[in-house]
Amino acid sequence: MNDSFILRDRLWREQNERVTLSSNATFSSNSLGRNVNEEPDDFRTCFERDRDRIIHSKTFRRLKHKTQVFINPDGDHFITRMTHTLNVTQVGRSIARTLGLNLDLTEAICLGHDVGHSPFGHTGEDVLNKMMDGGWSHSENSVRMLSVIEPLNLTKETINGIEKHPWRYEEPPFSPEGLVCRFADRIAYLSHDVEDAIRAGVLREDDIPKSITKVLGSPGKTWINSLISGVFKASSGGSLQMDGAILEIMHELREYMFDKVYLRKETLSQRAEAKKIIETLVIYYEKNPDKLPTNYIQDQSNIANSVDYVAGMTDRFAISTFEKIN
Pairwise pLDDT comparison (80 vs 232), residue with the higher score: 232
For the chain, which domains are there? 46-266 (1.10.3210.10)
| Helix pair angle (176-199, 244-257), 10° resolution | 40
The 3 state secondary structure assigned to 173-226 is CCCHHHHHHHHHHHHHHHHHHHHHHHHCCCCCHHHCCHHHHHHHCCCCHHHHHH
Burial class (CB within 10 angstroms; exposed 0-12, middle 13-18, buried 19+) of 3: exposed
pLDDT in tens, 285-315: 999 999 999 989 999 999 999 999 999 999 8
Q: Give the whole-angstrom CA distance, residue 117 versus residue 216.
A: 29
pLDDT in tens, 128-166: 999 998 899 999 999 999 999 999 999 999 999 999 998
The DSSP annotation for 75-103 comes to SS---BHHHHHHHHHHHHHHHHHHHT--H
pLDDT at residue 52 above 80?
yes
Question: How high is the pLDDT of residue 69?
Answer: 60
Question: How high is the pLDDT of residue 206?
Answer: 84
Rounded average pLDDT over 232-243: 84
Report CA Rg, the chain. 21
Confidence of residue 322 (pLDDT cuts 50, 70, 90): very high
pLDDT in tens, 263-278: 777 666 778 888 999 9
Question: How high is the pLDDT of residue 201?
Answer: 72
pLDDT in tens, 195-230: 777 777 777 888 888 888 888 888 877 888 888 998
49: nearest Cα among 150, 146, 154, 149: 154
Q: What is the mean pLDDT of the chain?
A: 88
